[in-house]
Structure 1
Amino acid sequence: MSVPEITPTQLAGGKGKPVLIAAAGLGTGAKALWIDAAAYLEDFQVIGIDLPGHGASPASTEPWTMAELATAVADLAVRLRESGDIDPAQPLYFAGVSLAGGLALQLGLDYPQLFSGLGVLCSGAKIGEPQAWLDRAGTVRNSGTPTMVVGSAQRWFAPGFIEQNAEATTRLLHTLQNADRFAYAHACQALAGFDVRGRLGEIATPVIAIAGGADEVCPPAFAEAVAAGVQHGQSAVVDAAAHQAPAEAPGETARLLRGFFLGN
C-alpha cells in the first residue's frame, strides 16, 4: 500500500477567493465532470483533482486505501498553499462525487482541521458490496476499462440525459475509456474496503450530502444517512440527476454547494 500521486487542474477563478477542491469519481475526470458546474462557482477558485490513472493524474503502481488517498489530497492542499498557488488566508472546501464523496468523509475523519466544509455528492458512507468491487477490479484488470462503458452509461445518467447532452456524455465516457486499467482496479479495491458508517458521528466539519433523484447506485437515502450521521450535516436532492450531478445539473449543484459553503 502507498500514498498515490494526484494532479491538480485549475478549473475556474483565481487566487484571493475561497478555494474549492472538486474531485471526480471512478471512471470520470475532474474537468469532464466539473467544468460546467465550475462556471457557476464564480465565488471560488476551483481546483479539480483526478483519481490515479484518470484524467491528469498518473496511474498508481500499487493498491491504495481511501485513507491513503485522503493523505494524498491533504498533502496536495498543503503544497498548493505553500507554493502560493492558492491563497493560504482563504478557507478551503472539498466536494467529491461517488468514490470522491466517500473521500470527503475520509478527509473529515483524518484531517478535521483542513477543510471548512465538505460536499458528498452522489455517494455514501459505504458504496456497493466488497465482493462486487473486487470482481469488477478483476474484470477491468484483465479486459480494460472499455468493458465498463455500456454499464456505466446506464448507471451514471438520468433518463434522457444522454440523448439531450451528447457532448457532456461523450467527454465523461471517453475519460472512462482512457483510464488506466490497473489504477481503475486499485480504486475498486479501495471501495471494497471503504465503510465509515459507524464513524460518521466523529466528523465535525460541516457536510452537505447531495443525491441525484434518479441515482440507483447511491440513492437519496444514502445522502440522508450521511447528513443525519455527521455532527453538522444537511442533505439535498437534485431531481434531474442520477450519479453525476455536476455534469447533469451543473447550475443546481453549484447553487447548493455555494449556498452551503458561503451562505449565499
Structure 2
Amino acid sequence: MAKPIVKAVLLSPQREPGSKPLLVVGPSLGTSTVLWTETAALLGDEYDVIGWDLPGHGMSPTATEGFDVAELADAVVDLVDSVSPGVRFHYAGVSLGGATGLQLGIKHGDRLRSLSVQCTGAKLGTPEGWLERAETVRSLGTPVMIQGSAERWFAAGFMDRRPDVSSRLLHALRDADRFGYAFCCEALAAFDVREQLGSITVPTQAIAGVEDSVAPPSFAEEVVAGIKAGGTFAVAEALDGVAHLAPAEAPDVVAGLMRNFMKENGL
C-alpha cells in the first residue's frame, strides 16, 4: 500500500486565498470535478471551493499500487496542506468521495468544520462485486462501464433533460485510467466503517437520492444513526427524483442543503 496523490481544481472564483472559508469537494468513482461544477458555482461566492480527483481520474495521476479509503483521506489532507497548511475546512463528497469524507471524520476530525456525505454509506456493495469489477476494468478498460454507470448514476429522464451534464460525466469515466479505477474498486471492496461512525465528532449531513440503487436513503440513515450514537449532531436528507450523483442531478437543492447546514451550525 502507498498513499496515493490527488490533485485539485479550483471551482470558485480566483481571489486572495483564505478570504473565504474553504470547502473541499470529492468525486464519485468514474467521475471528476465536473460532478461539482454547478453546485460549486452556486456556493462559490461564499466559499473557496476546490475539487479533487481520484487517482487516474481527471487531473490526478494514476496509482501504481493499491491503497485504502483511509489513505485517500490522508491524501486529501496533504492536498489541503499544500494549499493552506493546517487550515480547517468543510468537506463534501459523493459515493467514494463520501466514503473518504467518513474516513476524514474518523481520522482527521480536528481538520473538519463540517461534513456532507452524499449518495454513500459506511459500506458500499460487496467485496466480491468490487473485486470482479476491478478485474473487468483492468482487462477491458473503463468504456466497458459506461452503460451500467449511466443506468446507476442518473434518475430516469435526466440524460434527456441534461445531455450536456450527463455526457461530460460519462466522458470523464471513459477517460479514466483503467488501473486507477481498478485500485479504487479494490479500496471500496475493503471499506467498512460501520463500527467507527460513533467516533465522528464533526456535525454531519448525509444526503441520499430516493432513486439511488447504489446507496439508497437507508444508507444515509444508517450513517446518521451511527454518528448520533457517539453524541454528534447529524441529519439525513432524501431527494426525490435523484439517483447516485446528487450534485450533478440537483445542484440547486444540494447547494441549498449544504449552505443551510454550514450556516446553521455556525460554520
Same fold (TM over 0.5): yes
Q: 2:32 aligns with which of 7, 29, 34?
A: 29
Match of 2:185 in 1: 188
Distance 1:153 1:112 in 2: 34
Give the superposed CA RMSD.
Answer: 1.2
Aligned pairs for 1:225-236 within 5 A: 225-230=222-227, 231-236=232-237
Q: What is aligned with 1:9?
A: 9
Letter in 2 for 1:184: Y
- Among all aligned residue pairs of Structure 1 and Structure 2, give the percentage whose two residues are the same amino acid: 48
Counterpart amino acid of 1:38?
A: A
SS in structure 2 at match of 1:236: strand
Q: CA deviation at 1:78?
A: 1.6
Distance in structure 1 (CA, Å) of the matches to 2:108 and 2:126: 26
Question: What are the Cα deviations for residues 198-253 of structure 1, in whole angstroms up to 9, with x where unaligned?
Answer: 11111111111000111111000111111111122111012131000000000100
The aligned runs of 1:13-162 (5 Å cut-off) are 13=13, 14=15, 15=17, 16-30=19-33, 32-41=34-43, 42-82=45-85, 88=87, 91-162=88-159
The one-letter amino acid paired with 1:225 is E
Deviation at 1:261, TM superposition (A): 1.2
Cα separation, 1, equivalents of 2:154 and 2:126: 21
Secondary structure of the 1:94 match is: strand
Q: 1:198 aligns with which of 190, 195, 198?
A: 195
Q: Distance in 1 between matches of 2:156 and 2:50?
A: 30
Provide the rounded CA distance (Å) in 2 between the counterparts of 1:247 and 1:104. Answer: 18
Match of residue 174 from structure 1: 171
- Return the alpha-carbon distance in structure 2 between the equivalents of residues 43 and 229 of structure 1: 30
Instruction: String of CA shifts for 1:46-94, please: whole Å, max 9, x gaps.
Output: 0010000001111111111111111101111122113xxxx94xx5111
Partner secondary structure for residue 236 of structure 2 = strand
CA distance in 1, matches of 2:248, 2:109: 28
User: Match for 1:129: what amino acid?
Assistant: T
Can you list the C-alpha shifts for 1:132-180, whole angstroms capped at 9, x where unaligned?
Answer: 0000000000000000000000000011000110000000000000000
2:213 matched to which residue of 1? 216
Query: Which residue is 1:163 aligned to?
Result: 160
Q: Distance in 2 between matches of 1:79 and 1:164?
A: 39
C-alpha separation in 1, matches of 2:51 and 2:71: 18
Equivalents in 2 of 1:138, 1:10: separation in Å?
33
Per-residue CA deviations over 1:77-127 (Å, capped at 9, x if unaligned) read: 122113xxxx94xx5111000011011000011111001111100000000
| Equivalent position of 2:245 in the other structure | 244
Count residues with an aligned counterpart: 257
Distance in 2, Cα, partners of 1:39 & 1:237: 22
Query: Aligned AA for 2:36?
Result: W
TM-score, normalised relative to structure 1 = 0.95
Q: String of CA shifts for 1:24-49, please: whole Å, max 9, x gaps.
A: 1100001x100011121131110010
For normalisation by structure 2, the TM-score amounts to 0.94
